[in-house]
Chain A
Amino acid sequence: MSDKISRETVMHIAALARLRVDERELDTLTRRMGEILDYVARLEELDLDAVEPTSHAVDLQGALRKDVTGESMNAALALANAPDKAAPFFKVPKVIEGGGDA
């Protein structure tokens, strides 16, 4: 098994990404991720010290549009897909322990 990633790291990353990984999936997932990380380790073969990173393939300058008022989506439409709402708000489960029901 790869030493690039441990079960504990997978659990930690999953918690950060708001994902839950069950105990029974953990071994397979860790192994599969380890295989991928072993594969990508081939990047180590490259001499990258003097290479600038590329985050976008097109060099764009000044892509901002003019700051003019336009029409935006109305609140009813923006709420149309909400799983729970109390218009004009999205409704979510309690955020703070001991808070009111609002």
Chain B
Amino acid sequence: MSPSRDWSIEETAAHLRAGDVTAVSLAEEALARIAADDEQLGAWLHVDREHALTQAQAADDRLRAGDNITELTGVPLAIKDNFNVVGLPATAGSKILGDYVAPYESTATARLRRAGAVLVGKTNLDEFAMGSSGEYSGFRPTKNPWNLAYTPGGSSSGSAVAVAARHVPGALGTDTGGSIRLPASHCGVVGVKPSYGRVSRYGIFAFASSLDQVGPFARTVRDGALLLQHLAGHDERDATTVPLAVPNYLAACERGLDGLRIGMPREYFGPGIQPQVEEAVRRAIQVMKQNGAEVLDVSLPHTPYCVAAYYLIAPAECSSNLARYDGVRYGVRAAGDDLGAMYTATRRHGFGPEVTRRILLGAFALSAGYYDAYYLKALKARTLIRNDFLKVFNEVDVIAAPVAPEPAIRLGERLDDPLAMYLSDILTIGVNLAGICGLSTPCALSSEGLPIGLQLLGPAFGEEKMFAAAAGYEAMAGNEWPWPEVAR
């Protein structure tokens, strides 16, 4: 194996600039790694060799000419399959989009391409990004490279696995309730959920529009910061993006831990959290404290209501967003005698069980007679949840917590128990409801050899503090464990 698979994005960029390797050779190596072990992992839905090599050739031309080179020029990346990348299939993990080819480009992928990144292909996900294990993909489940009997976490399952299995050094995902941070935690990589409004969602398949956010995966905090640097910023095609200047996130990574005030919310520790997860996170916080951070006890008292509010709001928005899949303008159509019958047959045939359940739940919560009892209550609870975070961020710079109550679960363990699956999101979804930023970075391996993540949260548009804490921790913790070897 070439050493390139172990390189971070920054290391890859340095080798490309020095001329030690070419973008074409890196793309070839990534393609070979994917071919060698993706049958076992199921991380990818579409890999387009020609498409990848064309971009790589263009990157090499750019590197040779010294023309407009960025840290991403020639770097191979993976894109979750709910982004439109012109000319490539985009299914959102759903059979209903089985034959869809993107006719336009998402802003996020356009920005990566403009920087010279090589988009190798599209990665697997829970259907329409609804799921916490990767098992609700309409095509096949993704497996955890650390142990193939376990799930990788979802919904950005394939992107997390593509980075953990070292197919590529970075990837794009989306996070509506933890869909970047959860698989990052379970796969031992860095996953960043930026503040709501920080990155354009133009060109992604909408799931819950008041919660969806685009973010990167990488193997180092600095690489995560670097990718966000390229992704962030106002886009007139997404009216929710804010016209705020984008700070220098790599500079923020150099800040260090000294004097950083870190809050530990008591509701994120204790009962319901597996002891080895709690211990790992407490050890990580101790490392930050020993290196100059000030650690404070804080409270987010409405945490017990996050799952309830989220699983009314997200399904409600999903039922509305997914109304567009009707077999008329795109996607797979099923036969029906008249228009109504065609709609119903198409949706019945195209949507999997979890998506169906969420549409029903959302349509129920929004319907006459139930709106006030369910949806409106959830929106009000959201106010209280958001206020909890606003209050705590008056006292601290960053919040530290576990990402998930436990390490990755076994394949099939919760497949037929949606409520149990929803409860695994309890530590991540408050962030989406409040619109703040969060990331997961590896902090330990469990007794079964599965990764455990440390979650660090910052206030809305306060990514710098979050990156400072995460990079400071990463530098001081000295966590080193061998990456999983998948291909045998």
Contact = CB atoms under 8 A, between A and B. Distances in A.
Contacts of B312: 40
Contact of B377 (A18, A20, A43, A93): A43
A13 B364 contact: yes
B224 interface: no
A57 B176 CA distance: 13
| Among A5, A40, A63, residue most surrounded by chain B Cβ atoms (within 10 Å) | A40
Nearest to A77: B103
Given A17-B363, A36-B419, A42-B304, A81 B333 contact: no
A84 interface: yes
A32 to B, nearest CB: 6
Contacts of A80: 101, 103
Contacts of B345: 20
Contact of B240 (A18, A40, A51, A63): A63
Nearest to B389: A57
B338 A52 contact: no
Contacts, number: 169
Contacts of B377: 43-44, 46, 48
Interface string A54-94: 11111010011100000001000110111110000010111
Size band of the interface chain B makes with A: 35 or more
Interface in B360-394: 360-361, 363-364, 367, 374, 376-384, 386
| Among A17, A19, A20, residue most surrounded by chain B Cβ atoms (within 10 Å) | A17
A20 B346 CA distance: 10
Given A19-B360, A57-B434, A40 B308 contact: yes
A42 B302 CA distance: 11
B383 A52 contact: yes
A46 B456 CA distance: 28
A51 B380 contact: yes
Interface in B236-272: 236, 239-240, 242
Given A51-B380, A58-B240, A80-B101, A16 B328 contact: no
A60 B311 CA distance: 25
From DSSP, what is the main secondary structure of chain B's interface residues?
A: helix
Nearest to B375: A53
B162 interface: no
B359 interface: yes
B291 interface: no
A43 B103 contact: no
Nearest to A63: B239
Given A46-B305, A54-B382, A65-B236, A60 B242 contact: yes
A2 B336 CA distance: 35
A29 B383 CA distance: 31
Nearest to B351: A19
B308 A43 contact: yes
Contacts of A77: 103-104
Contacts of A52: 380, 383
Contact of A17 (B302, B360, B374, B381): B360
Contacts of B239: 60, 63-65
Interface in A15-55: 16-21, 29, 32-33, 35-37, 39-44, 46, 48, 51-55
Contacts of B357: 29, 32-33
Contacts of B341: 93
B339 interface: yes
A42 B422 CA distance: 15
B360 A33 contact: yes
Nearest to A25: B353
B377 to A, nearest CB: 5
Contacts of A53: 376, 379-380, 382-383
Contacts of A48: 377, 380-381, 384
7 contacts: A36-B418, A58-B197, A60-B197, A73-B104, A81-B99, A81-B103, A81-B330
